[in-house]
Amino acid sequence: MGFIEFENVTKSYNSSEIVIDNLSLSIPEGEFVTILGPSGCGKTTLLKMVNKLIDYNSGSITVDYKDIQKWDTIRLRRSIGYVIQQIGLLPHLNVEDNINYVLNITKSDKKLRRGRAEELIELVGLSIDHLDRYPRELSGGQKQRVGVARALAADPKIILMDEPFGAVDEIARTALQDEILNIHNKLKKTILFVTHDIQEAIKLGSTIVLINKGKVEQVGTKEDLIFNPASDFVKEFFGIKGFQATLDKSILRDLYKRILTKEESIENLYHKLES
């Protein structure tokens, strides 16, 4: 039994279409896992099954070495931070209360909550004076940072992130990616991070899971998926075919023409390269 483990999990919303297809996946504690795959392949469904927002038809799911059916749902959700794309900050609460929303309902000490909010806001790269603002007074990227802070508030062991940086511009996204890598290095949470974006998946995940039609196509490091693709789907998804196509001999010939001395023929060079 792994830290987070899917074992032969199958899910269909209605009987006609299988969305998660006998899927097995084992995630070690402390890992940063990116989940990649085309739209509709089942990424969000997979993520939401971990914190019981969606149930499954058969198989089993383990969280923190314990079958989720044996977890009390509320306790399970509190031990898992969740960040979604449409961040869902509560508009009538300021940043401090948004961050501490979970702590507020468990009625922690007020000073302790303020201290925690200050710690978290700095952790996600915002200054303390943001705590008194309301969500409408923040940029998209700042809202996402608050969303990450909120997900960390109850100090969960696991963080689920569903395309969390999809809606922010490229500069903010790069900064947020660096921040979440920092946070992972510092806090060693287990992170499941869903993305469409190959670059993002490669940058963040020490393990990448590529999903297609509710099945795992391949699990591995970026090197595994790029240089050792397990299927044509993996190869095509990473665009390796396209990449290789640009490296055909006519292009190489062009390149070599520029760097070769006139005496040395291109055929000779090829001969040398191939021998």
Ligand X SMILES: Nc1ncnc2c1ncn2[C@@H]1O[C@H](COP(=O)(O)OP(=O)(O)OP(=O)(O)O)[C@@H](O)[C@H]1O
Question: What minimum distance in Å lies between the beta carbon of 214 and ligand X?
Answer: 7
- Of these partners, ligand X, Mg ion, none, which one is at the site of residue 65 (CB under 5 to 8 Å by kind)? none
In this chain, which stretch among 3-11, 41-49, 78-86, 233-241 interacts with Mg ion, using CB under 5 A? Answer: 41-49
Select 37 or 135, whichever has its Cβ closest to ligand X: 37
CA–CA gap between residue 161 and residue 191 (Å, rounded)? 7
Select 21 or 224, whichever has its Cβ closest to ligand X: 21
CB 21 within 8 A of CB 215: yes
- How many residues touch Mg ion under the rule CB under 5 A: the total is 1
What DSSP assignment string belongs to 36-100? E--TTSSHHHHHHHHTTSS--SEEEEEETTEEGGGS-HHHHHHTEEEEESS----TTS-HHHHHT
Question: What minimum distance in Å lies between the beta carbon of 163 and ligand X?
Answer: 7
Q: Which two tokens stand for residue 234?
A: 């993996």
Burial of 115 (0-12, 13-18, 19+ CB in 10 A): exposed
Dihedral pair phi/psi, residue 156, rounded to 5°? -75, 155
Question: What minimum distance in Å lies between the beta carbon of 94 and ligand X?
Answer: 30
Q: Does the protein bind Mg ion through residue 44 (CB under 5 A)?
A: yes
Fill in the DSSP letter of residue 27: E
Residues 18-77 that bind ligand X (CB under 6 A): 19, 37, 39-45
Select 44 or 98, whichever has its Cβ closest to Mg ion: 44
Select 46 or 126, whichever has its Cβ closest to ligand X: 46
- How many residues touch ligand X under the rule CB under 6 A: the total is 11
- Of these partners, ligand X, Mg ion, none, which one is at the site of residue 185 (CB under 5 to 8 Å by kind)? none
Select 153 or 198, whichever has its Cβ closest to ligand X: 198
Select 87 or 154, whichever has its Cβ closest to Mg ion: 87
CB 121 within 8 A of CB 128: yes
CB 73 within 8 A of CB 55: no
Q: Does the protein bind ligand X through residue 16 (CB under 6 A)?
A: no
- Of these partners, Mg ion, ligand X, none, which one is at the site of residue 41 (CB under 5 to 8 Å by kind)? ligand X
Q: Does the protein bind ligand X through residue 13 (CB under 6 A)?
A: yes
Fill in the DSSP letter of residue 104: H
CB 7 within 8 A of CB 24: yes
The site for ligand X (CB under 6 A) is made up of 13, 19, 37, 39-45, 196
